[in-house]
């Protein structure tokens, strides 16, 4: 299919001069060089963010309650994040601590 674009290529909606490679295109328009995935580091979840979704909310309280009741045990590093008061046990005090964080009246022990 022929087009009359007079030597202008379009990449991701951006016009670029003919002959510029894709890597140069990203550097020119986005301000960064392409990199490997291993260079990206995800932020670590804070204590109280039991499910690791980036926020402390009612889902974290439910995860702690489910662990206490034995219905859905916590795995991985979630038990560390669930231990809101830092006593190395997951119990109702941790659930209440997370509720206090949600209400803005307390914070989990770092």
pLDDT, one tens digit per residue, over 81-106 is: 999 999 999 999 999 999 999 999 99
Does this model's pTM top 0.75? My answer is: no
Q: pLDDT tens digit string along 34-63?
A: 555 555 555 567 899 999 988 999 999 999
Contact present, 81 and 49 (Cβ < 8 Å) = yes
User: Is pLDDT above 80 for 13?
Assistant: no
Cα dist from 72 to 27, 69, 76, 98, whole Å: 46, 8, 13, 18
- As a whole number of angstroms, the distance between CA 16 and CA 52 comes to 40
- As a whole number of angstroms, the distance between CA 17 and CA 57 comes to 48
CA 47 to chain centre: 14
Domains of the chain: 10-39 (no CATH), 43-110 (1.10.1330.10)
Q: pLDDT tens digit string along 24-34?
A: 544 455 555 55
DSSP alpha helices (H): ranges in the chain? 22-30, 58-69, 78-82, 92-103
Contact present, 81 and 110 (Cβ < 8 Å) = no
User: Is pLDDT above 60 for 74?
Assistant: yes
- As a whole number of angstroms, the distance between CA 53 and CA 33 comes to 28
pLDDT band at 79 (very low <50, low <70, confident <90, very high): very high
């Amino acid at each position: 299919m022929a087009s009359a674009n007079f030597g202008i290529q379009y990449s991701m909606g951006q016009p670029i001069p003919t002959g510029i490679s894709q890597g140069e295109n990203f550097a020119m328009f986005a301000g960064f060089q392409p990199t490997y995935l291993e260079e990206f580091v995800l932020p670590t979840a804070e204590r109280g963010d039991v499910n690791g979704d980036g926020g402390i909310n009612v889902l974290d309280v439910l995860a702690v309650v489910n662990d206490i009741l034995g219905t859905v045990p916590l795995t991985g590093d979630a038990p560390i994040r669930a231990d809101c008061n830092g006593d190395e046990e997951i119990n109702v005090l941790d659930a209440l601590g997370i509720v206090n964080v949600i209400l803005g009246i307390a914070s989990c022990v770092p």
